[in-house]
Amino acid sequence: MIVKQAEAAEGGKDPMSVVHEGQQQQQQQQQQQQAGADHLMVKGSRCIVISAVLLNVRFLCELMQCAVNIPHLTMDVMQRVAELLRTFNEHSCLLILGAGAIRTAGLETITSKHLVLASQALEVLILLTPMFKAILKARLTLKQEVLLSELERVWTVQKDDDRMICAPFFN
């Protein structure tokens, strides 16, 4: 903060306005953290995602690193990736489409904000799934590549569920 004040003084700005701007930025960051939302860059797009997506992406990346570093684990990693993606998708849909969030989180209603965040979460994973598939495919034999169909099925279900979540916006 002191550095910003010094730069502001040199630039002709009132140092107190810089302090006030800094306080506003801190408040905005705290509000975002309290809301559980954060940002993730995917294929050059800035996506606002809930913290659960960040944790899942981190875990999926660590699984990919295992497959890269220890090729013998690729089959097991592929199963875990499919399981993790499927479970996240099922729980997201249950909470949003099945109104489970009303019961478990004490929400009064599922708002458009909830729908958008759920859709954004699924879209991030939909974008990343083909990348994960490509990483795994590079480490599988031709016989084993047939097993990638499970990731393809999960990806298809993710896209279908995302369409269902977005349906209220287009009807």
Domain boundaries, the chain: 1-35, 37-170
| Cβ-contact 30, 48 below 8 angstroms | no
Sequence-ordered strand ranges (E) for the chain: 37-42, 45-50
How far is the C-alpha of 75 from the C-alpha of 42, rounded, in Å? 26
For the chain, 171 residues long, the average pLDDT of each consecutive 10-residue run is 40 49 54 58 80 91 93 93 94 76 66 82 90 91 88 93 82 66
> How many residues appear in the chain?
171
Quote the pLDDT of residue 43. Answer: 79
Among the listed residues 113, 118, 2, the one whose alpha carbon sits nearest the alpha carbon of residue 50: 118
Specify the pLDDT at position 16: 47
The token pair that represents 129 in the structure block: 């799934």
pLDDT of residue 18: 42
**What pLDDT score does 154 carry?**
94
Does the pTM surpass 0.85? The reply is: no
CB 77 within 8 A of CB 136: yes
pLDDT value for 97: 73
